[in-house]
Homo-oligomer: A and B are copies of this chain.
Amino acid sequence: MQFLTSEIEAGRLRPGDRLKPERELAVELNVSRGSLREALKALEMLNVVELRHGLGVYVTLPQPQVLSRIFGTLISMQPSQSEDIMDARVALECHAVRLACRNATRRDIDRMRRALESLDMQAGESGSRNGEHGAEADHEFHSAIVESTGNATLVFLYSAITGLLKRGHHERWLSLFSIQDSWLALNDVHERILEAIAARDEDRAAAIMAEHFDVIAKILAKHQGQGRFASIAFRPRGPRQPG
């Protein structure tokens, strides 16, 4: 177990590599095949390794969505604060939008624009599934920004975080897109973010992104009383207690 993870982290085993047969590996590591299999199955659970029947054991490249599934199971077991998760998202996105200003290609910007157009269309209607589509388009816009950074780590963290938010607080998130006046405010801010990115003005982009999360926080706070998190200018919590 320890052996395999350290081998992988040291880079001696790389995604796609095939491990030696179980029987052989067990002899080398001086453990029984049963014990080795316990470790392999455990690593398979983490998606570090894939056991293919009749073929062998392969080192795999964990996909972000797989990671967020694991995260979901784990965090669903602890008293996670949605505000905490949301704050992590704010942190990632406010910096991501700066990197986007530097690295976004024309294609990236087109993708963001399409997402906003889709969001606009949803805003006109007010059907029952309105929130669903709006949330999707919103997510597409923000994903486009993060992915345009070209930073694999940020993308990875972001997808894990948003996966969590989606699963755990889906209803509350959707409700944001059912509140009438939120559309106007959000769409305006979105447009200005895109504008700033296109102008490669990262200070402005970051400032508007921060403002964006403030707007969300305020809308949620106003309409739900509890749906608040600590974004940049919004401070629902007092100082922590010593301890």
A interface, how many residues as a size bin?
A: 35 or more
> Once the chains bind, are B46 and A152 in contact (CB under 8 Å)?
no
- Known: A37-B38, A77-B61. Is A102-B230 also a contact (CB below 8 A)? yes
Q: A9-B167, A105-B242, A107-B242 are in contact. Are A46 and B75 (CB under 8 A)?
A: no
Given contacts A41-B41, A42-B45, A95-B94, contact A156 B75 (CB under 8 A): yes
Partner of A81, one of B152, B167, B237: B152
**Contact assessment for B95 and A239 in the assembled complex, using a CB-CB cutoff below 8 Å:** no
When the two chains form their complex, are residues B46 and A70 in contact, meaning their CB atoms are under 8 A apart?
Answer: yes
Residue A232 at the chain B interface, CB threshold 8 Å: yes
Copy number in the complex reads 2
Contact B46 A84, beta carbon cutoff 8 Å? no
Show 27 A/B contacts (Cβ-Cβ < 8 Å), sorted by A: A9-B73, A34-B37, A38-B41, A39-B41, A42-B45, A46-B46, A46-B70, A48-B73, A62-B74, A62-B77, A80-B151, A80-B152, A84-B151, A84-B152, A87-B151, A87-B154, A88-B92, A88-B151, A88-B153, A91-B92, A91-B94, A98-B232, A103-B239, A105-B239, A107-B242, A150-B237, A157-B157
